[in-house]
Structure 1
Amino acid sequence: MARGRKLDIEFCGFGDGWEADNKEKPESGPKETLPPPQHCLVMQREKRRGKPVTLAGEFFLSKEEEKALLGRVKKMLGCGGTLKEGWLEVQGDKAVALRHTLEAEGFRFKK
């Protein structure tokens, strides 16, 4: 492209199935909520950027219940964490402490 000339994009047909990809994606259907004793959680350990992360899930709770549970767990363990797609991610190798905390809340784990 030479200097001083404008790029002509009229030849591009944006109406031919081209759409912006930054639109909100719909959720994967209605998520039913279950009481804590009906959950059967699984523990996993992963490394993210060389640091250990402990995962517990999958939770079937409402958004408000998820936020409250996340706050209680982070406060009890004294670490950071988040809830993504129904999985609780806690920073550090805290599997034993996380299991005891969630069992005190009434959740069950697979053997």
Structure 2
Amino acid sequence: MARGTKLDLSFGSFGNGWEVDDLCPKCGENRSECICNNEKKILTPAEHRLVFKREKRRGKPVTLVGEFFIDKDEIKSLLKSIKKSLGSGGTFKDGWMELQGEKADVVRPLLQNAGYRFKK
């Protein structure tokens, strides 16, 4: 930047940066971060179209299955039975079932027996 030139500090249409969101009465979060209206619809197992993803976490393979749209109690019981039959650990986060190891070929028949369907 040349000496003697002014730096343009106008914010344009972004505002001055000091606006404050009002709070949602249901969840208490800021309106811009509110999750109340993003509640997911609960589907029957036959209406699901699940996909598999493989990732590495800390150098170890993880199988992701999802996205599930079922009740929390149902997913806990389903996850518990799958983990018991696989003999490995896992968890449920953000609608996705995370299982330790590469287990897609073993998990698919278990979920199909429970009535779930998969994308091809």
Q: TM-score over 0.5 for the alignment? A: yes
Higher relative contact order by CA 8 Å / sep ≥ 6: 1 or 2? Answer: 1
Distance 1:94 1:73 in 2: 11
Cα separation, 2, equivalents of 1:26 and 1:70: 28
Structure 1 position 80 matched with structure 2 position 89:
yes
Residues 92/39 of structure 1: CA separation in 2 closer, same or farther (3 Å cut): same
Moved over 4 A (4+): 23-26
The alignment's TM-score, normalised by the length of structure 2, stands at 0.69
Give the structure with the larger helix fraction.
2
Q: When the two structures are aligned, how many residues end up with a matched partner?
A: 91
User: What's the counterpart of residue 55 of structure 2?
Assistant: 46
Name the structure with the higher strand share. Answer: 1
| Whole-angstrom CA distance in 1 between matches of 2:35 and 2:75 | 16
Q: Does 1:97 align with 2:106?
A: yes
Q: CA deviation at 1:27?
A: 3.4
Aligned residue for 1:37, secondary structure, equals helix
* Partner Cα distance (2:82, 2:44) in 1: 17
- 1:33 corresponds to: 42
Q: Could you tell me the percent identity over the aligned residues? A: 54
Query: Aligned letter for 1:27?
Result: I
1:63 aligns with 2:69: no
**TM-score by structure 1 length?**
0.74
**Residue 95 of structure 2 aligns to which amino acid in structure 1?**
G
Equivalent position to 1:107, from 95, 105, 116 = 116
